[in-house]
A and B are shown apart, each in its own frame.
Chain A
């Protein structure tokens, strides 16, 4: 079993492999979705399906510490600049992909830590990461 707390999230300039570790990460996840084109006609008994298009998204929740790696995400968003994000699990597998930062929030509850939810839309195809 590999555990989530060992997953490393990094970011960096779009177009390359990220190298700056994002600090304070609590939860992270990513997913992809296929537009599945379905076909059926009068000759069909079963529906046939093809993948038409692919897209992906990711979300991160972190504990805010005002670390430079966290501030960089907000700065990039306000500049509408793409950032590459990398997610590598404990076993060394993962992906990196350029992302549009679609949401950056900050919860400031009086009796708890400041937390930052971040939503990302993949700007294109991801690149796989495997252990060297």
Chain B
């Protein structure tokens, strides 16, 4: 599966729904992490571990269009410090994940002879749900 066929959507935080397509998406990266709770006692040789808290973060790069509604939605959430739902699928009917996010940082690149891009860095807030 090629990244250019993947899709990113946004929606209202707290609804578990994100159906509004984000335009101009270039590269996306997301990672879910789980802490490993370690247990060691005097009976141990190998450290034993159990799953702890889940969390995650990611980044979304777009060819920036300030007149596009989806970019405006991302900008609004960034500037207001509010949450938004993001969903990433590998294809239109494919698999991925959905979660609420907070935007932790962002950057705009204005190169001399290339398109202006904006990158939104986010952290997942609360439950992360797989989409099959």
Contact = CB atoms under 8 A, between A and B. Distances in A.
Do chains A and B stick together as partners?
yes
Contacts of B95: 66, 71
Given A74-B130, A78-B129, A110-B3, 14 more contacts: A53-B40, A65-B1, A71-B132, A75-B130, A77-B34, A78-B32, A105-B29, A107-B3, A108-B27, A112-B2, A112-B3, A113-B2, A123-B48, A124-B49
Given A66-B90, A71-B130, A78-B54, A108 B48 contact: no
Interface of A: 53-56, 64-66, 71, 74-75, 77-78, 80-82, 100-114, 117, 121-125
17 contacts: A53-B46, A54-B45, A55-B49, A64-B1, A65-B1, A66-B94, A78-B32, A82-B51, A104-B32, A105-B30, A108-B6, A108-B88, A114-B6, A122-B49, A123-B36, A124-B47, A125-B45
B1 A109 contact: no
Given A114-B2, A114-B3, A103 B32 contact: yes
Contacts of B26: 110
Contacts of A53: 40, 44-47
A117 B28 CA distance: 14
Nearest to B35: A102
Interface residues of B, number: 39
Interface of B is mostly: strand
B46 A122 contact: yes
Contact of A121 (B2, B29, B30, B49): B49
Given A108-B3, A113-B3, A54 B47 contact: yes
Given A65-B1, A107-B29, A108-B29, A114 B47 contact: no
Contacts of B107: none
Nearest to A104: B32
B31 A103 contact: yes
Contacts of A55: 38, 46-47, 49
